A and B are shown apart, each in its own frame.
Chain A
């Protein structure tokens, strides 16, 4: 009994929607805008996570990141932004790095320390670049490839640096910068290597390596009165199976070193890929909320149109009931109509959402993520909206008494 009625309801809905195609299109657009916004947001934010995910895969699945605990970007304090460089107050120092090195489960570790200041070439204008100070093992904890020269190692002199491709061009007008000298906070530095252009400013190091200057850890300390203020320690575990155990060990020893203060986080796996940038989180939350609101507005549009449809078809409802339609089948008929409207909207929205995401990605340094999860989300959202906003009109239609409905004037 249900199967033929389902097809009948679909055919009736199709006919009814075809007859009122202008207003149906308008409701469809309402839903499509909502679904498109959500799809675009998910695709773009998923893209960022995917980029970092890929980097971690390249590094291996035994990566841990030790980071100072940062103030979380909750919605309550977004008007009071955190300092631009949270690392300046990092509690991590060289003694913590030593503790990490000492752990038997650690295969390798590299500190990451940013140094304030600008670089310039001769009398040219100062070039904005992130100045990083790290150890030679950094290349093994992060996917860095050099296009020319070499990375800093244990035998290179203190006043040597590796440049990002963009920094090299900004300073010297060419990527062929090996051997050339520049000034960093007034000190002369010689370029010994250039990093191959990465075009991935989004990574778990939070550094755009294309616009960076990498100097040795000792040089970095000299700029900081001989004290290491480490923003992040990238750790490679000797065995990926021990990741959880190593995390606990590191948290414990570093906390102990900080007089019991649990002021650091050790991130593993998926936690690393979650962007911690508060602006990013805030923007994503806000955009998702706006998209959600537009979807609800679209749903209200569908409900409105469905109520109009019910009002127009009171006699038809009465007649259908008089020839044997049950309350359930009348409800199903109108619910399916709402569902079809929302599904069409969802489909159009999904396609347009990706069109928007791909257009936006032309101006962004990464591609949107295509995943079945997003398709499923769009599908479930459309169906959910269809059910939520189609249910009331459907119940209203189904509750009509046949006698009163048949008396209803045309």
Chain B
């Protein structure tokens, strides 16, 4: 299998499945998904609620384990790693930005940012130095010793992004990073992510907001646990059976927002 892996790709996923429940309650949140992400891409994953976006992101982040399928990060098979090795891969390769920031309340800003370095084996003072430099990039150097409760939502998310970047990961994953922010703060956060992308980082972002896809250079739409549309494939031969034009999907998404009907039906 390894000889087939394209080493320029950061992520290579083949035939990924994730099952929840057993017997009658069995349900595939991810159902045979293939995805290849190249270095430096900014991908926005969209789709209705329950389509498997977050599950996919959690599996990519090695926070969850797939039921079957192959998953390579930088050419290394990570689908069957032990819990400790997955933790090491997380520390080394992945930066995660959460919707609700997930800052540790009893640690100040700089300690929160420095936290991932702890598990990468960086020593005390060096940790704080690196975290301080990272915070300065986000214009938060004056807030280093603030507690998370003293920050606004936008500031908290910038701290969370700084934390995700501090280990210089090859992959940044963001699960609805603007979900808890107002439009102005959302814009600032997206600008930050865009900047990070321009510096050569690979970003995968899950979002419900179609407006944010403008920042991404590749938009993937998921439906029922598989990739429905992928802007990378436009103009190429269709790989999946259920492809729809992106503009139609965006319209469907907007319609879904206005409609009270379940999202799946609105897309169909």
Contact = CB atoms under 8 A, between A and B. Distances in A.
A159 interface: no
A7 B91 CA distance: 19
Nearest to A316: B104
B208 interface: no
B91 A402 contact: no
Contacts of B119: 5, 320, 323-326, 329
B248 interface: no
B87 A326 contact: yes
A16 B96 CA distance: 25
A328 B124 contact: no
B259 interface: no
- Which of A7, A15, A16, A320 has the most chain B CB atoms closer than 10 A to its own CB? A320
Contacts of B83: 326-327
A322 B84 contact: no
A7 B163 CA distance: 21
A322 B124 contact: no
Given A326-B84, A327-B83, A329-B119, A4 B124 contact: yes
Given A4-B118, A4-B124, A406-B98, A324 B91 contact: yes
B121 A322 contact: no
B92 to A, nearest CB: 8
A19 B87 contact: no
Given A8-B118, A324-B87, A324-B119, A319 B58 contact: no
Interface in A306-323: 315-316, 318-323
Interface string B25-69: 000000000000000000000000000000000100101100000
A364 interface: no
Contacts of B122: 4
Nearest to B91: A324
A28 B90 CA distance: 37
B96 A7 contact: no
A322 B88 contact: no
B90 A322 contact: yes
A323 B115 contact: yes
B106 interface: yes
A406 B115 contact: no
A19 B106 contact: yes
B124 A323 contact: no
Contacts of B163: 323
Contacts of B199: none
Nearest to B86: A326
A241 interface: no
A1 interface: yes
B64 to A, nearest CB: 5
B204 to A, nearest CB: 15
B31 to A, nearest CB: 19
Contacts of A290: none
Contacts of B61: 322
A45 to B, nearest CB: 45
B119 to A, nearest CB: 4
B118 A322 contact: no
Contacts of B96: 322-323
A323 B64 contact: no
B120 interface: yes
Nearest to B119: A324
A323 B84 contact: no
A403 interface: yes
A1 B121 contact: yes
Nearest to A321: B87
Nearest to A315: B102
B90 A323 contact: yes
Contacts of A402: 63
Contacts of A319: 102, 104, 115
Interface in B140-172: 163, 167
A171 B167 CA distance: 89
B116 interface: yes
B106 A322 contact: no
B103 to A, nearest CB: 8
Given A323-B91, A324-B90, A4 B121 contact: yes
Given A4-B122, A327-B83, 12 more contacts: A4-B121, A4-B123, A4-B124, A8-B118, A16-B106, A322-B90, A323-B90, A324-B116, A325-B87, A326-B83, A402-B63, A406-B98
Interface of A: 1, 4-5, 7-8, 15-16, 19, 315-316, 318-329, 402-403, 406
Interface of B: 58, 61, 63-64, 83-84, 87-88, 90-92, 96, 98, 102, 104, 106-107, 115-116, 118-124, 163, 167
Which are the 10 A-B pairs with shortest beta-carbon distances? A324-B91, A324-B119, A323-B116, A326-B87, A1-B121, A326-B84, A402-B63, A324-B90, A319-B102, A4-B123
26 contacts: A1-B121, A4-B122, A4-B124, A5-B119, A319-B104, A320-B115, A321-B63, A321-B87, A321-B90, A322-B61, A322-B63, A322-B102, A323-B91, A323-B96, A323-B116, A323-B119, A323-B163, A324-B87, A324-B92, A324-B120, A326-B84, A326-B88, A327-B87, A328-B84, A329-B119, A406-B98
